Amino acid sequence: MFKRIITAMLLTAMFVLPVSAHELTIKNVSGQAPEAGKPFNLTVQSAHKFIVPEEVEILPRVKAGIIENGKLTASELKGNDDKLWIDFSVTPSDLSGSFIVTAIKDGESWCVTNEGGKSGARKDLEAQGLKVLSANKYDKYAKAIFNASHEDKNFSQVLGQPLEIIPVTNPADAKVGGYFDVKILLNGQPYTGPVWASYDGFVTEYENTYAYYTEAENGEAHVKITAPGWWGIRAAQSGLPGVEGDYDNLNLRAFLLFAVSSDR
Ligand SMILES: [Cu+2]
């Protein structure tokens, strides 16, 4: 009897837990323009709303920096407890074209247990006597394009991230009323699945509320641009195979961020 009540409680706990996690994004909050050889200040944000900072991610699990010559130069990260974001800066060496900044979160194993949510490998928590109902890893990838220019090709670089949104449209050519085309790869293969998009300021009151929804087919998606500003396109893949004893499922989240100019 007692056991049955516990089981019922655990099942209830499972269903009331939020299914959507904080999304990882990047934003230039200062409005500073990048200059070659000078630090360009940015933030890594984690939130349920696009794009309202909500939580300082756990620093050791996050890496962020500029991609140059296909290589990530990791920046020093500083948690900002007042603003609820991570401050960092990148120093672009060349501004003849666009440059890519990425932020990556290694989610580690997150378990739902009989004593609530806990981080740690399934086998370690079980060894402590906990009942593990589910063990999930949420890895997140944000990729932002800055200094877009018409002649540039850098924007379409493929970084090889497990879930990656690659612009087909040059952000410099993105305009209100037009489509922004992307290619989405899941482990290097065309992704088929949901795609959301929104822009800074669209909805700040409600969580998980996006301006646009479509589905990628064979790795292709088309997002209609409806306002100028800082845009984010998001894809998500849940339920990938996990690692025995560590986590049952791997879940990937990706965001592509870029600016749409108002004067086109
Ligand atoms: Cu969350």
- Do 102 and 257 contact (CB within 8 A), yes or no? no
Taking the centre of ligand 1 as the mean of its atom positions, its distance from the CA of residue 23, in whole angstroms, is: 7
Taking the centre of ligand 1 as the mean of its atom positions, its distance from the CA of residue 109, in whole angstroms, is: 15
Taking the centre of ligand 1 as the mean of its atom positions, its distance from the CA of residue 83, in whole angstroms, is: 17
- Do 176 and 226 contact (CB within 8 A), yes or no? yes
pLDDT in tens, the chain (264 residues): 455 554 545 544 444 444 457 999 999 999 999 999 999 999 999 999 999 999 999 999 999 999 999 999 999 999 999 999 999 999 999 999 999 999 999 999 999 999 999 999 999 999 999 999 999 999 999 999 999 999 999 999 999 999 999 999 999 999 999 999 999 999 999 999 999 999 999 999 999 999 999 999 999 999 999 999 999 999 999 999 999 999 999 999 999 999 999 875
pTM passes above 0.85: yes
Give me the sign of the Cα torsion angle 25, 29, 33, 35.
negative
Taking the centre of ligand 1 as the mean of its atom positions, its distance from the CA of residue 22, in whole angstroms, is: 4
In sequence order, the β-bridge partners of residue 33 are none
| Residues in contact with 156: Cβ distance below 8 Å, sequence separation at least 6, in sequence order | 166, 167, 168, 170
| Residues in contact with 108: Cβ distance below 8 Å, sequence separation at least 6, in sequence order | 61, 119, 120, 137
